[in-house]
Chains A and B, each alone.
Chain A
Amino acid sequence: MSTIASLDALRARREDILARQKARNGKIVINVSLATCSIAAGGKVALEAMQDEVALNGIANVEFMQSGCMTFCYAEPTVEITLPGKAPVVFGGVDEAKARELVTEYVMKGEPVEGIIPVTYERVVL
């Protein structure tokens, strides 16, 4: 991989990345918080359960990602799910059973599942 030697090169690379991310728009994105706190609370269990449930049900257009702390210690493990064309929703208290339910109910049918964490912040996007 070549290095990024100028601001123009950085911008070009960003355009590439954004284009790739756009291609993700048709997909279901499942973002699992995996920071020290969330892992201790069972974040990896939630991730594996969801991966397993997605495989069991043969859902093809799911992309998993990990992120850092979602800041909701009181509701760990937390998972953010973005269905195509919909706003991301963060669910808290995702134990193994809840993880599977999120796949079979929310991901597959769009049915609401308990444990939604409301968005109570404004975020600076650069």
Chain B
Amino acid sequence: MAATTDIKQLRIATRNCGFIDPESLDDYIAVRGYEALAKALTMTPAEVVEIIKVAGLRGRGGGGFPTGVKWGIALSNAADQKYIVCNADEGDPGAFMDRAVLEGDPHSVVEAMAIGGYAIGATLGAVYIRAEYPLAIKRLRKAIDDARAMGLLGKNIFGSGFDFDIEIKYGAGAFVCGEETALIKSMEGHRGEPVSKPPFPAQSGYWAKPTIVNNVETFANIPAIIIKGADWFSSIGTATSKGTKVFALAGKIVNVGLIEVPMGTTLREVIFDIGGGCPDGKEFKAVQTGGPSGGALANKDLDVAIDYESLIARKSMMGSGGMVVMDEDDCMVSVAKFFLDFTMDETCGKCTPCRIGSKRLYEILDKITKGHGTKADLARLKSLSDSIKDTALCGLGQTMPNPILSTMDTFGHEYEAHVTQKKCPAHVCTAMLTYTINPAKCTGCTLCTKVCPVECISGTKKQPHVIDASKCIKCGACYDKCKFDSIIKM
């Protein structure tokens, strides 16, 4: 555990996680639960929208669209029925912020959805949640049932005349279903395929009615804003990004876990002061923010104050909050390949640039990591990435090239080394590795011969040994075993 004495974190969205019993409505009421809803119901819907606008809250699901502005659009679109939807699909690999909020403080989301419903004029809400989150579903369901039993959902809430109820919809387990138009299609019972915008859901969404889709964490901030005020919230953060952001720290980091920091906190503070740096004294190399849609930030970016704009300026993005940390042992070409493998699997196939482009990008990366890449492949990666960005229909395809573009930008020399010298500088791409024994150091202890699974190391006792490169399968067992540092991995 790292010695962190400075208080760098500020918990707003996760204010109750770990402190109250998520299955107890009374525990939530004790921390002023449902007071924000009661307060909102004494205002006009336009006043509620205005507070969220002035607070400067922006969507925490990735896009960062101003929540109050979006609510205002839905409010001004008259309709006999409107809907408010909570996006709890959380498909970004390595992200679990929304799960933690729903498992630790489900009532805050229920209350916020009712506030949002009142603000835009919706009497029905739905939570679209991935079926892989059974405990979150159970606690959310209990929260909704308990709130309904107490009259905090249902007809005439707080005697205000406002009716509101929430149902739960189960996700189909595809990453693209987190995209709001695909999510709405999926809720309607269709295939979860995105449709082009406009019209935006706030104009025409679920069953062609004005629909607001917001992320779990976005909602979790709302009761705090209503109770503590827009000015309080907007005093936290940077000029363009207010409040805090929850991140899930994963990968090569000592303090793996959830953190919540004010916007404007630097990456250095997140990775080193809070995260404790990389384990085993390894050197920090990069951090992927924004998951498969984002990019890798490196040493040169450590002093960037995190907000929506600064991350985009660095060819990454805020995303929903996954942060995967990489150390000196990670190969950036392989990292890009990992994310492309993910998007290639998750493309819905509706449009060609994404369906076929993801496969081609993956193939080129695969070829490079196997030692068959050429300089022309690097140029193709770049131009294909650029055209996919410009032509894909939805956010999944448009952002899919980001992991490639950002790693090529910052770690271009690594790509070069793979294609020109046929070397993987981080010694990850096995096809390009060779194991040899340094005769000057080898004591002939024979230990390596006992672990080699293909018996390709030979030599007499107390004499330098040799590896038969034609048989070596590059498993690295000898390298790990040798006590004399005589095996060279190149």
Contacts and interface: CB of A to CB of B under 8 A. Distances in A.
Interface of A: 1, 3-7, 10-11, 13-14, 17-18, 21, 31, 33, 35-37, 39, 65-75, 78, 80, 92, 117-126
Interface string B27-52: 10111101110110010000000000
Contacts of A117: 1
B194 interface: no
Interface in B17-75: 17-23, 26-27, 29-32, 34-36, 38-39, 42
Contacts of A68: 16-18, 22, 100, 103-105, 139
B135 interface: yes
Contacts of B8: 120-121
Given A17-B29, A122-B10, 13 more contacts: A5-B151, A5-B159, A7-B38, A7-B39, A7-B158, A13-B26, A67-B19, A68-B16, A69-B103, A120-B8, A120-B274, A123-B10, A124-B12
23 contacts: A3-B151, A6-B158, A7-B39, A13-B29, A17-B27, A36-B135, A66-B21, A67-B18, A67-B104, A68-B18, A69-B14, A69-B18, A69-B100, A71-B259, A74-B254, A118-B4, A120-B5, A122-B9, A122-B11, A123-B10, A124-B10, A124-B12, A124-B228
B149 interface: yes
Contacts of B32: 14, 126
Contact of A71 (B30, B150, B159, B258): B258
B206 to A, nearest CB: 28
Contacts of B38: 6-7, 10
B227 A126 contact: yes
A92 to B, nearest CB: 8
B325 interface: no
B103 A36 contact: yes
Contacts of A6: 38, 158-159
Nearest to B254: A74
B142 to A, nearest CB: 13
B403 interface: no
Nearest to A72: B257
B153 to A, nearest CB: 10
A83 B29 CA distance: 24
B103 A35 contact: yes
Given A36-B136, A120-B8, A126-B228, A75 B1 contact: yes
Given A13-B29, A39-B135, A4 B22 contact: no
A118 B14 CA distance: 17
B223 interface: yes
Contacts of B224: 124, 126
Interface string B97-121: 0011001110000000000000000
B7 A35 contact: no
* Most chain B CB inside 10 Å of its own CB: which residue of A67, A68, A69, A92: A68
A4 B151 contact: yes
A14 B401 CA distance: 51
B96 interface: yes
Nearest to A13: B29
Question: Interface extent on B, as a size class?
Answer: 35 or more
Contacts of A118: 4-5
B367 interface: no
Interface in B443-486: none
Nearest to A14: B29
A31 to B, nearest CB: 8
B152 interface: yes
B260 interface: yes
Given A1-B149, A68-B22, A10 B29 contact: yes
B342 interface: no
Contacts of B11: 121-124
B3 to A, nearest CB: 8
B255 interface: yes
Contacts of B223: 126
Contacts of B39: 7
A3 to B, nearest CB: 3
A36 B99 contact: yes
Contacts of A33: 18
A21 B21 CA distance: 13
A37 B10 CA distance: 22
A71 B4 contact: no
A74 B257 contact: yes
Contacts of A80: 18
A74 B151 contact: no
A117 B4 CA distance: 10
B370 interface: no
A121 B159 CA distance: 38
B15 A73 contact: no
Contacts of A1: 149-150
B335 interface: no
Contacts of B227: 126
A3 B254 CA distance: 47
Given A35-B104, A36-B133, A39-B135, A125 B18 contact: no
Nearest to A68: B104
A23 to B, nearest CB: 13
A11 B5 CA distance: 37
Interface in B134-177: 135-136, 139, 149-152, 158-159
